[in-house]
Structure 1
Amino acid sequence: MNGVIKFSDIIKKRFLEDMMIGGNLTITRVVITLLLTFLATLFVYYIYRKTFSGTLYSRSFNISLIMLSLVTALIIMPITSNLTLSLGMVGALSIVRFRTALKDPNDITYMFWAIAVGLTMGAGFYSAAAAGTFVIGMILLILHFIKPGGFSSYLLILHFSHESSEAVNESLRKLPHRHLKSKTVTGDGVELIMEVKIKGSNTNFVNDFLDIKGVRDAALASSSGDYIS
């Protein structure tokens, strides 16, 4: 019947409009979303730099977190604005494989965080992205600076001659928290690796081992492999 609009016609019209003009996606929205995403991931950048405790800080990885969030937001905006494009992007992204090995397990957390910021920003949930980013950042800072009991675990590595074994053992007994990890005895001497727990940042006791005759070197390493002295 002429003049009667069917529900199916409305769906078809809406579908064609989305396919032709991209829904409500405008240049202004793209620019504003990317700028807000950049500001949010700058906070992620700062938190990663502040809480990093690995062997070697990678500025390029930290910058890649910002780019990852921006690219994610750029992908999500067309997906939420155009039904046809969203189906095509889902199929295209399903064949992408990332094979880069991450040395620090915490890097995976920051990658998911950056992706989450891009997802929420790209979907238009600006307040949720800002609030979530701030809360997660504060939690990471608290967990980084608060340590149970105030003790930190380190590996004490000693190389000394057989003649100085008794003096070394005497000095080790003065350490309140120690645990033997490895002991290697060769014809040239002994390599001893002890796990010690230190309260605060006082590592002067390592220098005392060098005062023992027969001790060739003494090193203190954190669990992440950073040599302290």
Structure 2
Amino acid sequence: MLDMGDWLKATFPQVQDQTIAVDTLLQRLLAALVLGALVAIVYRFTERTRSAGTSSFIATLILLTVLLAMVAQVIGNSAALAFSLVGILSIVRFRTIVEDTRDTAFVIFAVVEGMAAGVGNLAVAVAGLFVVSLATVTLRALHFYAETPLVEWTLQLRVGTAVQDAAPWENLFAKSCASASLVGTATARQGAALDLTYKLKLNAEVTPMQFLNALNRLEGIQNLELKRT
């Protein structure tokens, strides 16, 4: 009669054969963590503009590198485990839309770095990190990346008829917007207020919330509404 240890060895012979030392495993995972952080730094340093999802994507790159290093340890030399993993992952439906194809390249970058660290091939990981980073920085310096088009917004501004000077918000437009133009005016509250409609494009570093907060601090403005066109 087999005891539990013999049963485990008989049931999972490949796993037993591929077991690596704990210190080696930790070294590979820590190497993957460092490599993932470096990939994220390169991404952050070479990106054009910082959007709301940038921080989340950077964290994803780091985690993805470590996870792929773990996957490499699980698969080892087993083709059966590799096909099983593909089958398991095919069940997951990924709904995240990558807006920039450059982001897709960095996802692949993180995957390859994680796999290289996971199998202990640090020479490939370090060499690949250096070459891809150099290529990315060079392309950035040569302006190969197309600039992200600015979003157009419609601003509806209500002010009292006593306000005769539009300079306060127009000065703010000059600081915060790449372009701004008045496209419509109307009276409100039986002639006691004016509704002004502007078409504008915020500068890349200005968020809609920052822009609205700055407008709210101006005197004479009664109501604000900002809509994406």
TM-score by shorter chain over 0.5: yes
* Alpha-carbon distance between aligned partners in 2 of 1:67 and 1:218, rounded to the nearest angstrom: 41
- Once the two structures are superposed, the pairs formed by residues 128-167 of structure 1 within 5 Å of their partners are 128-147=124-143
Identify if the C-alpha distance between structure 1 residues 187 and 118 changes in structure 2 by more than 3 Å, giving closer, same or farther: closer
Structure 1 gaps, min length 5 = 1-14, 158-183, 189-215
Answer yes or no: is the 8 Å Cα contact 1:37–1:121 preserved in 2: yes
2:28 alignment partner, SS class? helix
Identify if the C-alpha distance between structure 1 residues 20 and 77 changes in structure 2 by more than 3 Å, giving closer, same or farther: closer
- Once the two structures are superposed, the pairs formed by residues 64-103 of structure 1 within 5 Å of their partners are 64-82=60-78, 84-103=80-99
Give the superposed CA RMSD.
4.0
Q: Equivalent of 2:25, from 24, 30, 35?
A: 30
Answer yes or no: is the 8 Å Cα contact 1:37–1:70 preserved in 2: yes
The count of corresponding residues between Structure 1 and Structure 2 is: 162
Cα deviation code 1:15-42 (max 9, x no counterpart): 9774351414332221111111111122
The amino acid of 2:108's aligned partner reads: F
The alignment's TM-score, normalised by the length of structure 1, stands at: 0.56
2:47 paired with 1:52:
yes
Percent identical residues: 25
Answer yes or no: is the 8 Å Cα contact 2:64–2:110 preserved in 1: yes
Deviation at 1:67, TM superposition (A): 0.2
The amino acid of 2:37's aligned partner reads: L
* Alpha-carbon distance between aligned partners in 1 of 2:124 and 2:184, rounded to the nearest angstrom: 65
The alignment's TM-score, normalised by the length of structure 2, stands at: 0.56
* Alpha-carbon distance between aligned partners in 2 of 1:20 and 1:120, rounded to the nearest angstrom: 20
Q: Which residue of 2 aligns with 1:118?
A: 114
2:96 alignment partner, SS class? coil
- Deviation >6 Å, runs of 4+: 152-155, 184-188, 216-222
Answer yes or no: is the 8 Å Cα contact 2:182–2:199 preserved in 1: no
Answer yes or no: is the 8 Å Cα contact 2:35–2:65 preserved in 1: no
The amino acid of 2:110's aligned partner reads: A
